[in-house]
Amino acid sequence: MYLNTHSRFSLRYGVLSVDDMLSWAQAAGVTRMALTDVGTTSANWDFVRRAERFGVAPALGIDVRNGNARRFVALARHAAGYEALCRWYSELNLAGTPFPARLPEAVRAAGVAAIYPWSSWRTACDGGLNDHDEAEALGTDEWVGVQAWEVPAVRLARADCDPTLGPRLLALSTATFTCKRDWNTHRLLRAIDHNTLLSRLDAAECGDPRDCFRAPDELRKAYAEMPELVARAEDLLAGCSMDLPEPPERCLHNNPHTYTESEDEDEALVRALCAEGLAYRYPDHDDAVLERMEHEIGLIRKQGFLAYFLINWDITSYARSKGYFHVGRGSGANSLVAYLLRITDVDPIELDLYFERFLNLYRTNPPDFDIDFSWTDRDDVVAYMFQRFPNVALLAAYNTFQYRAAVRELGKVMGLPKNEIDALCAGKFNPSRLGEMETVVLKYAAVIRDFPSSLTLHACGVLIAHDNIHRYGALFMPPKGLPTVMFDMVVAEDVGLHKFDILSQRGLGKIKDALEMVRARDPKTAAEIDIHDMRRFKADEGVRAMLREARATGCFYVESPAMRMLMRKLQVDDYLGLVAASSVIRPGVARSGMMQAYIERHRDPAKRADAHPVLLHLMPETYGVMVYQEDVIKVAHRFAGLDLGEADVLRRGMSGKFRSREEFDRARDAFHTKAVTKGHAPDMVREVWRQMESFAGYAFAKGHSASYAVESYQSLFLKVHFPIEYMCACINNFGGFYRTEFYVHEARMLGARIEAPCVNTVGALAVADPTSQTLTLGFNLVKDLNHATIAALEQARAEGGPFASLINLVERVAPSLEQLTILIRVGALRFTGATKHVLLWEAHFLLAAEAQGTSKTSRTGSSPAHVAELLAGRRALPARTGTGTGELFAPPKPPTYVLPPLDAAPLTDAFDEWELLGFPLCSPFLLLTEEAKAIVRGGVLARDLPDRIGEVVTVVGHLVTVKETATAKGERMCFGCFVDLEGAWLDTVHFPGVARDFPFRGRGVYAVRGTVSESFGCVGVDAQRMERLATLPDPRYAENGVMPAGIDSGLSSRRRQPPKSASAPGFRGTVAPPFVP
């Protein structure tokens, strides 16, 4: 009789988890239950999967509503009915069409029962629903559901309705809550959903407080006057059943089973493609390559993954045909077949990639291919997948209420002021002084924590099913505009759908754009570059030197300060070293202490003896240190004696995918038990487990690290041989670890002359000219310059050539005064030879009418009716003349004024650039006060630090980035990264006391005093104190020293009041004398 139950996946409506519902059912003796969430199928398969262990036979359906107006409960009798229901629901949901009052007959005929609420049916009988056909006779598998409290009214009204209605009445006991707290939570969620105060929440937007889970005996008592209603509900529910979608016989998944017409044809195609790949990848291959290829093909077919490989090949082939670059990574990179099919560029034989991480007989899910495309190309690739294959949908994910979001939303519906909500979110409150409302907010924030709040898109997952996608659930349409299932990746795997990961990143955009620039300048040179020729890149001495010296700014994955230091410590200059570094840098390896152990053993062979003999034997390449994900499998299998299936469960669980599932718990217990049984000491077993657990969730598969290293090598090669083009591509793609300012800085360090945007040179994107070593920034960097203006500039120049003058630009582009002012201030009209001040006056003369709001509009703003004669002759204010438009008397002719010389103040350009570009094109050290410059001159440069190890020095640097972290005690500390006066990198460490007393104060130039330290060749400064140096007042606002919005002079950047012991010389302030280097 439980035909209409709701879980918390009835978003911002339901309150119970699937386990809560099933636990209640088990305790109450309920053996059958239907989950019918409001407008979603998100929780359905989790409900089915878990129901068996609670002794509950599951059924599935949808509570169909328009807003909060219930239309009916649709209940699937079997799998075919569920598919028909989901197809019908998806069609209307994707189109945004309101749901009808009756479930169509065709859907019911496919095996779906429709249960209409008595309240709406009674209204129909009374003639209250003239726009629907609800009052017509009930058809096949249509029912009218009666709530327990409606029984008296039904008995009285039944005679007035259709006499055939009686046998179609049944008990519809909606179940949403189990207690008063659930009802309160529900009301709060409804208020959040409607963005209204709880006190103003319309009761019609909520469920009924009587919608409670009731035990079977209690329900029978409630329906005692009409017991036949309960019997019919039980009969209907008994006729409904649902199981997880099973793959066909001899298949392990519900992805497409064949790419062609049969498995034999698939295998033949794979072999033909592998033969082509052998000629490309291994011109002189030996028998070992062929043996591994045969072994892989056999296992791939046996596991049913031939189509999976061919679909990935199809996708990457399409990308190559369109000129899109890609990187194939994930555990699939361990596969030789993937390498031969050019899905990946990782040679698994060279790297001795662990085959069992790729595929084994115990593994039921496919090898994981993560395929990266440029951020500009990914959408087209996904669109191709929807066109190329049937039964495609995007994968969903769930946004959940976490502490701050829950507190903020609940604070709003409870009417708390913003400042109080902010304090609660930040944890800045005294629990003993909280008011009643604040206490309620915190109480229910804990209740709804981890509740799903909305559906969103998985970052990269695309599903392709072998049969109709609606077999697995209903679809919704996110803003992305592509049909999307309502469940996440875990549920997808439960039903045998394994996602295709199609990702985007900006690093590939850099590579693509850089090559296009080279091709435009020198087609012959570009034609000689095969960006997939890793043999060439690995042997390139320039690339090796750049790696060794960690000069990798702008290069994928190897440019961060932490990676730069790690490469120096490891003295990386080859591919295998970079592969290891790419995984060692991951946070789990560092957190477990294994990064330091790896560095020590790499640099000092004597330290390798510290490794456990078994672990050293298993992982000699990494000196007995677990670095890669597959090391978990190796250790679990060979150290503890788990079989490969158990070991893979352990790896996946540690990656966060199944940590809560019983299979992981069993594998963990088996690890400890079997390891001790094999003779390992319990303390040793616990230490190995600690290392595994601490790093596995963050570690990379070796093939994944190798794929990253491939892209790193590609970008390094381009930076070495085409530095200006590559840095230009970095700037245009806005991607990387650093702000654009520092890619501009790196281009300058590589010999480029940086130019501000110019209307005759660039459009939205920056332009590189290697011949003149010039890099001209694009207009997309200019704040407040709109897209229409940029497009109009590009179009006018394409149609009529370069602009000849300010007047010429105004005539052809017709910018608004505001847009023209921005162009002048950023220096985009410097080709005229006039100063900015003169150009600004002329712009105001030209567009004076528009400034007064009387001009006509054009492409980007307003344009005067005529401009050609306004600036003829000398630059002067034009005289006004009669227009002959009916004026009786022409206005008096004013005198002509000649502009005096208008010279710019020093550094005006820099401050304009700072305001409009976000950074000046000159050295930021030039913008310091004289007092600050004196400190700069007394500072130690980065190149001199190796000679000052152990000394206390002062360094001065322009802040690049700050990384905050926590010590083992939970205290906050920081790592600072700067560039010094010569443009070289400076690295600083700020331990908790210093980080607290001398905090970073935003962007600017800082003086840092501390001890020079060295670790494996990496030199830095352990900060003792720090101050941001003062910047000159903006000369454009010289009268009052005002800085424009977004620019901070640094004059107010004082550290917090230091303790009395901090009065030693070093910094300006109330307790310290002027800074003394």
pLDDT digits (tens, 9 = 90+) for 386-401: 999 999 999 999 999 9
pLDDT at 551 over 50: yes
CB atoms within 10 A of CB 808: 16
Q: What is the 3-state secondary structure (H, E, C) of 916-946?
A: HHCCCCCCHHHHECHHHHHHHHHCCCHHHHH
pLDDT value of position 155: 85
Higher pLDDT, 533 or 663: 533
pLDDT value of position 879: 38
User: What average pLDDT does the segment 910-935 reach?
Assistant: 95
Helices 702-721 and 723-733: angle between axes, nearest 10 degrees: 120
Q: Where are the domains of the chain?
A: 18-176+211-238, 263-390, 394-498, 526-714, 782-922, 925-1062
In this predicted model, what pLDDT tens digit does every residue of 849-895 receive, in sequence order? 555 554 444 444 444 444 444 444 433 434 334 444 444 555 455 44
User: What average pLDDT does the segment 923-933 reach?
Assistant: 95
User: What average pLDDT does the segment 648-657 reach?
Assistant: 70
- Cα(412)–Cα(42) distance, integer angstroms: 28
- Given CA atoms 193, 199, 202, 206 in this order, what sign does their dihedral have? positive
Tell me, what amino acid is at 716? Answer: L
- Cα distances from 611 to residues 300, 619, 626, in angstroms, run 36, 10, 11
pLDDT value of position 1058: 35
Q: Which two tokens stand for residue 95?
A: 């189109």
CB atoms within 10 A of CB 1: 26
DSSP string, 970-1010: S-EEEEEEEE-TTS-EEEEEE-HHHHHHS---SSSEEEEEE
- Cα(515)–Cα(511) distance, integer angstroms: 6
pLDDT value of position 661: 59
pLDDT at 1069 over 50: no
Indicate the burial class of 997 (C-beta count within 10 angstroms; 0-12, 13-18, 19 or more): middle
| 972: β partners | 966
- Cα(318)–Cα(387) distance, integer angstroms: 12
For the ranges 360-369, 620-629, 831-840, which has the lowest average pLDDT? 360-369
CB 487 within 8 A of CB 439: no
Q: How many CA atoms lie within 13 A of 616 on its CB side?
A: 11
| 326: β partners | 373
pLDDT at 594 over 50: yes
Tell me, what amino acid is at 75? Answer: L
For the ranges 631-645, 687-701, 709-723, which has the lowest average pLDDT? 687-701
Residue 403: which of 394, 392, 391, 411 has the closest Cα?
Answer: 411
Greatest Cα-to-Cα distance within the chain, rounded to the nearest angstrom: 113
Higher pLDDT, 1056 or 340: 340
pLDDT value of position 457: 95
If pLDDT is split at 50, 70 and 90, which confidence band does 121 have? confident
pLDDT at 725 over 50: yes
For the ranges 616-620, 667-671, 800-804, 1060-1064, which has the lowest average pLDDT? 1060-1064
Number of DSSP helices (H) and strands (E) in the chain, helices first: 44, 25
User: What average pLDDT does the segment 286-304 reach?
Assistant: 91
CB atoms within 10 A of CB 279: 10
What is the chain's mean pLDDT, rounded? 87
Percent of the chain with pLDDT over 70: 86
Q: Is 116 helix (H, G, I), strand (E, B) or coil?
A: strand
DSSP symbol at 390: S
Q: Which two tokens stand for residue 655?
A: 């990656």
pLDDT value of position 977: 97
- Cα(495)–Cα(41) distance, integer angstroms: 13
If pLDDT is split at 50, 70 and 90, which confidence band does 147 have? very high
- Cα(592)–Cα(988) distance, integer angstroms: 23
Tell me, what amino acid is at 101? Answer: A
pLDDT at 728 over 80: yes
User: What average pLDDT does the segment 661-687 reach?
Assistant: 85
Residue 176: which of 20, 402, 49 has the closest Cα?
Answer: 20
pLDDT value of position 1067: 31
Tell me, what amino acid is at 137? Answer: A
pLDDT value of position 651: 76
pLDDT value of position 866: 42
User: What average pLDDT does the segment 52-77 reach?
Assistant: 96
For the domain spanning 18-176+211-238, the CATH number is 3.20.20.140
In this predicted model, what pLDDT tens digit does every residue of 778-813 receive, in sequence order? 999 999 999 999 999 999 999 999 999 999 999 999
User: What average pLDDT does the segment 117-138 reach?
Assistant: 61
If pLDDT is split at 50, 70 and 90, which confidence band does 160 have? low
Backbone angles phi and psi of 776, in degrees to 5: -100, 125
In this predicted model, what pLDDT tens digit does every residue of 971-1013 receive, in sequence order? 999 999 999 999 999 999 999 999 999 999 999 999 999 999 9
If pLDDT is split at 50, 70 and 90, which confidence band does 1049 have? very low
CB 314 within 8 A of CB 385: no
Question: Parallel, antiparallel, or unpaired: how do β-strands 370-374 and 500-505 relate?
Answer: parallel
925-1062 is a CATH 2.40.50.140 domain: yes
pLDDT at 356 over 70: no
- Cα(14)–Cα(33) distance, integer angstroms: 16
Q: Where are the beta strands (DSSP E) in 95-240?
A: 112-117, 142-146, 169-171
DSSP symbol at 639: I
Q: Is 967 helix (H, G, I), strand (E, B) or coil?
A: coil
- Cα(770)–Cα(628) distance, integer angstroms: 41
Q: How many CA atoms lie within 13 A of 510 on its CB side?
A: 30
- Cα(867)–Cα(878) distance, integer angstroms: 11
pLDDT at 133 over 80: no
User: What average pLDDT does the segment 287-300 reach?
Assistant: 92
pLDDT value of position 522: 94
DSSP string, 186-220: HHHHHHHHHT--GGG--GGGS--TT-B---HHHHH
pLDDT at 1054 over 50: no
CB 726 within 8 A of CB 514: yes
pLDDT value of position 898: 65
- Cα distances from 475 to residues 40, 66, 461, 745, in angstroms, run 9, 16, 15, 48
Q: Which two tokens stand for residue 150?
A: 């409606």
Residue 717: which of 503, 524, 558, 522 has the closest Cα?
Answer: 558
pLDDT value of position 567: 94
Indicate the burial class of 530 (C-beta count within 10 angstroms; 0-12, 13-18, 19 or more): exposed
- Cα(459)–Cα(281) distance, integer angstroms: 32
Percent of the chain with pLDDT over 90: 71
Q: Is 965 helix (H, G, I), strand (E, B) or coil?
A: strand
If pLDDT is split at 50, 70 and 90, which confidence band does 907 have? confident
pLDDT value of position 358: 65
If pLDDT is split at 50, 70 and 90, which confidence band does 363 have? low
pLDDT value of position 644: 74
Q: Which two tokens stand for residue 1013?
A: 């330290």
- Cα(1022)–Cα(163) distance, integer angstroms: 89
pLDDT value of position 357: 62
Contacts of 387 (CB under 8 A, 6+ apart): none
- Which helix (H) or strand (E) segment holds residue 221: the answer is helix 216-222
For the ranges 427-436, 449-458, 509-518, 600-609, which has the lowest average pLDDT? 427-436
Indicate the burial class of 57 (C-beta count within 10 angstroms; 0-12, 13-18, 19 or more): middle
If pLDDT is split at 50, 70 and 90, which confidence band does 355 have? low
pLDDT value of position 138: 86
In this predicted model, what pLDDT tens digit does every residue of 406-419 receive, in sequence order? 999 999 999 999 99
Question: Parallel, antiparallel, or unpaired: how do β-strands 57-66 and 169-171 relate?
Answer: unpaired
Contacts of 86 (CB under 8 A, 6+ apart): 41, 470, 471, 472, 473, 474, 475
| 977: β partners | 961, 987
User: What average pLDDT does the segment 911-936 reach?
Assistant: 95
CB 325 within 8 A of CB 531: yes
pLDDT value of position 1052: 34
Q: Which two tokens stand for residue 892?
A: 């008096």
pLDDT value of position 894: 46
| 986: β partners | 978
Q: Which two tokens stand for residue 28?
A: 């109450």
- Cα(652)–Cα(634) distance, integer angstroms: 14
In this predicted model, what pLDDT tens digit does every residue of 231-273 receive, in sequence order? 999 999 999 999 999 887 777 889 999 999 999 999 999 999 9
- Cα(960)–Cα(1003) distance, integer angstroms: 8
Q: Would you give the distance in Å from CA 132 to the centre of its chain?
A: 45
CB 564 within 8 A of CB 538: no
